[in-house]
Structures are given as structure tokens and as C-alpha cells.
């Protein structure tokens, strides 16, 4: 599934042992994907490979993180991998939706790669429909987290120090029985499936998500990436950390602006 970039003929590819894998769920408002864009752009991460999969809608475009005319014509595809060894961070960016009935196959293949690459943990950035919150979820912050049991042992105390709020379970049969509680993430795409599979397979995974609505979701992405930064400290936290994130050049095209000439 993972194909390394050809860099000097090193067929072995990069070593991700002990790295944190950061990735988005294709979810409401594309909030996770936008947040990943900010991380890659700000940290100036190097593309080290891509995912070859038939589970995603095929797409190709020019470099979304172009900084000059020279690198603006580089091609990007639907699932690419970026790395920053100094922070032991590897990032998978997903840029297209899943093909129908391919969710489970993708999750199985991804988790198999996580195991074989010996990544220490996975952090999934996601979102959920704000209008489908229950009464308890309407209170306080719109941010939530989930930890698999294996990661809970390692970082559960840190989440309590940060005063973070865990994603609530909701009634399986609202209005009929409130005793049966289930994890419900409407609009979250593969979030629930990937999390439950990670729990079953003993993979350390954290889900960070924000309740939101479709629209201009750049503010939601900034809130989510700042939430991530509270924990992982990817950039220095200051009075206004949002001002430190570097906006990718591709974001100029989000709302129908003209296509860049370099694309043709």
C-alpha cells in the first residue's frame, strides 16, 4: 500500500519506527484534512511516499504546498505521506472521498501498515455533525477526544491535566431506553470504524474531533489543530497560536478562485 518516493535509489524506504502517525478522517467540513494541511505547510514536511489504493476516488493536481514557481508544477495525488524525523512525526494526507463499500478494506490495510512500519501511535483528526449532538454534548467545548485502551494507559493522565473532554456515548435507543450507550459519530466517516478496529487490535490511537457544520471550515481547522498542539506541542504555544500556522498556497482556491496557470 505504501510506496516510498525514489530518493537516491533507496528501495528500503523511510524508517517510521517509534513515530506518531497523524492523519485525517474524511468527515464533515473536511476539518481534519484542512488541519493536516496546516501541519504539513507549517512544519515544511518532506513528501516521502504515497498510498497506492483503489479505496479512494482517483485524483491528481499540482503541489498544494507550493512556495515558488519552481515547485508549483509538482504533482500530488489522493493519498500522500510526509515525514519530519526531528519530531518523529509521519503524516498521511487524504485528499479524496472513499469509494462506496471500500471503507473497511482501507482501514484493514492501513492498520496493517501501521503495524508493519512500527509506528508508536496514530492520531486521527476528525469532525462530527454539530446538529446531531445530544443534550450533554451541547454543553461546554465543541472539542472531544477518544483513546484506545492501550493509549489510555500511556497518556490518559495527560488528557486529564489538559482538562479535555472525552467523547460521550449516547443512547442506542433514544426515548425508549437510556441504559444502552453506544459510540456515535455522525458525519465522521471512517472515524468510528478505525477507532474500534484499533481497540480490537491493540493499536495505540487517539481521535481528536470537533463538532461543526458545513461551510467555511477554516476556523474549525484552526481550532482543531490548536487542540492537537496543546498535546503534541508541534509549534510553540503563544498567546495566539493560530497566527503561527502557515496557510498553504492551495487554500486560495477553496472558494472558486481561478485555477493557477501552473496546472496547465
Multiple choice CATH, 16-251, 3.40.50.10900, 3.40.50.300, 3.20.20.210, 3.30.40.10: 3.40.50.10900
pLDDT in tens, 90-143: 999 999 999 989 999 999 999 999 999 999 999 999 999 999 998 888 888 999
Q: Which residues pair with 94 in a beta bridge?
A: 79
- 38 Cβ contact list (under 8 Å, min separation 6): 221, 222, 225, 245, 246, 247, 248
- Residue 234 confidence (pLDDT): 94
Residue 241 has φ and ψ, to the nearest 5°, of -65, -25
Beta-carbon count within 10 A of 162 CB: 13
Give the residue, 181 or 37, on which the prediction is more confident. 37
pLDDT number for residue 82? 96
Q: pTM for the full model?
A: 0.91
What mean pLDDT, rounded, does the chain reach? Answer: 89
Percent of the chain residues topping a pLDDT of 70 = 90
Neighbours of 15 (CB within 10 A): 11
pLDDT band, very low/low/confident/very high, at 255 (cuts 50, 70, 90): low
> Mind listing the pLDDT tens digit for each residue in 34-83?
999 999 999 999 999 999 999 999 999 888 898 887 787 888 999 999 99
Distance CA 245, CA 229 (A): 11
Confidence of residue 158 (pLDDT cuts 50, 70, 90): very high
Residue 178 pLDDT > 80: no
20 has a pLDDT exceeding 70: yes
Angle made by CA atoms 144, 145, 147, in degrees to the nearest 5: 160
The torsion defined by the Cα of 126, 128, 230 and 152, in degrees rounded to 10, comes to -80
DSSP label of 7: S
Reading the block at residue 52, the C-alpha cell is: 497506492
> With the C-alpha atoms ordered 67, 28, 222, 157, is the resulting torsion angle positive or negative?
negative
Cell matching residue 96:
479524496
Q: Quote the pLDDT of residue 259.
A: 58
Checking DSSP bridges between strand 177-182 and strand 170-173, what pairing results, if any?
antiparallel
Helix (H) or strand (E) holding 129: strand 121-129
Is there a contact between 193 and 103 (Cβ–Cβ < 8 Å)?
yes
Q: Within 13 Å, how many C-alpha atoms sit on residue 151's CB side?
A: 22
Q: Could you tell me the pLDDT band of residue 241, with boundaries at 50, 70 and 90?
A: low
Mean pLDDT for the stretch of residues 183-188? 94
SS (H, E, C) 143-184: EEEEECHHHHHHHHHHHHHCCCCECCCEEEECCCEEEEEECC
Q: What is the pLDDT of residues 205-214, one digit of tens each?
A: 999 999 999 9
Query: Hey, where are the domains in the chain?
Result: 16-251
Amino acid at each position: 500500500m505504501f510506496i516510498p518516493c525514489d530518493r537516491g535509489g533507496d528501495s528500503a524506504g523511510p524508517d517510521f519506527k517509534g513515530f506518531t502517525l497523524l492523519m485525517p478522517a474524511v468527515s464533515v467540513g473536511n476539518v481534519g484534512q484542512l488541519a493536516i494541511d496546516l501541519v504539513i505547510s507549517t512544519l515544511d514536511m518532506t513528501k516521502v511516499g504515497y498510498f497506492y489504493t483503489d479505496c479512494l476516488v482517483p485524483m491528481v493536481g499540482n503541489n498544494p504546498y507550493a512556495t515558488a514557481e519552481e515547485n508549483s508544477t509538482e504533482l500530488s495525488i489522493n493519498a500522500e505521506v510526509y515525514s519530519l524525523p526531528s519530531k518523529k512525526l509521519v503524516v498521511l494526507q487524504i485528499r479524496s472521498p472513499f469509494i462506496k463499500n471500500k471503507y473497511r478494506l482501507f482501514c484493514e490495510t492501513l492498520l496493517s501498515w501501521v503495524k508493519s512500519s512500527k509506528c508508536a501511535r496514530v492520531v486521527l483528526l476528525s469532525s462530527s455533525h454539530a446538529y446531531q449532538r445530544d443534550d450533554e454534548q451541547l454543553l461546554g467545548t465543541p472539542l472531544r477526544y477518544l483513546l484506545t485502551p492501550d493509549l489510555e494507559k500511556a497518556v490518559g493522565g495527560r488528557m486529564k491535566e489538559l482538562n479535555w473532554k472525552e467523547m460521550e456515548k449516547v443512547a442506542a435507543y433514544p426515548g425508549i431506553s437510556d441504559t444502552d450507550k453506544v459510540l456515535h459519530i455522525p458525519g465522521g466517516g471512517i472515524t468510528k470504524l478505525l477507532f474500534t478496529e484499533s481497540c480490537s487490535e491493540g493499536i495505540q490511537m487517539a481521535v481528536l474531533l470537533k463538532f461543526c457544520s458545513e461551510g467555511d471550515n477554516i476556523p474549525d481547522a484552526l481550532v482543531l489543530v490548536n487542540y492537537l498542539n496543546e498535546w503534541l506541542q508541534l509549534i510553540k504555544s503563544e498567546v495566539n497560536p493560530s497566527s503561527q500556522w502557515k496557510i498553504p498556497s492551495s487554500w486560495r482556491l477553496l472558494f472558486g478562485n481561478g485555477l493557477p496557470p501552473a496546472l496547465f
